[in-house]
Each structure stands twice: as C-alpha cells, then as structure tokens.
Amino acid sequence: MENIKFLNPLKVNKTIDIVYLMCPMHIVSIKKALKELKEGEILEVLSDFSHALEDIPNWCKMSGHEFLGIIEGDDYLKFYIRKSQVDSFNDLS
C-alpha cells in the first residue's frame, strides 16, 4: 500500500459508484468506465471493497493508467485515476 496518496477534492470527468462490488467486478467496471474517457481525463471511483486499496493502484500500474490517489469518505473511499493513452491490458473485457 505504499502507492496510496491522500488527495484534496479534484475536478473529475466521470464518477462511477462500485460500492458493494468485489473482485473481479470492481476492476471490470473501472476498465469499462475508462474506455469512455479521453486521454488525460480523470475517473473517480467510489468503492468500499477493502482489497481495492491494493487492487486499484496495482491495476493502474500494470495497465499504464495513472493512479492519482484517494480521498477517504464516511462509508467508502474515492479513488482517482487519470486515463493514459495506451491501456496495457486492452485485451481484457
């Protein structure tokens, strides 16, 4: 979890609520949402899945997207991802 950065609120281009989703659906939902964004745009992901603290930053690193950090909410975490030009895992659905 050394990749975790706590942020102040930032401007996002899209928000997805994946509260109650677990592996692998949380990553599948993120990948689908990122396909709808342009390079450089920011996705906000709302999740309460405890493993997301490791899964989302690690997936970003493997797929080439930039993990910006998180904001802690009352009932969930907000994860922020900047879409990169190339998705290293573009063969996954």
CB distance 34 to 83 below 8 Å? yes
Identify whether 60 is a catalytic site residue.
no
Task: Write down the catalytic residue from 23, 25, 62, 92.
Answer: 23
The C-alpha angle with vertex 29 and arms to 71 and 49, in degrees rounded to 5, equals 50
Name the helix (H) or strand (E) containing 70.
strand 66-72
Annotated catalytic residues are 23
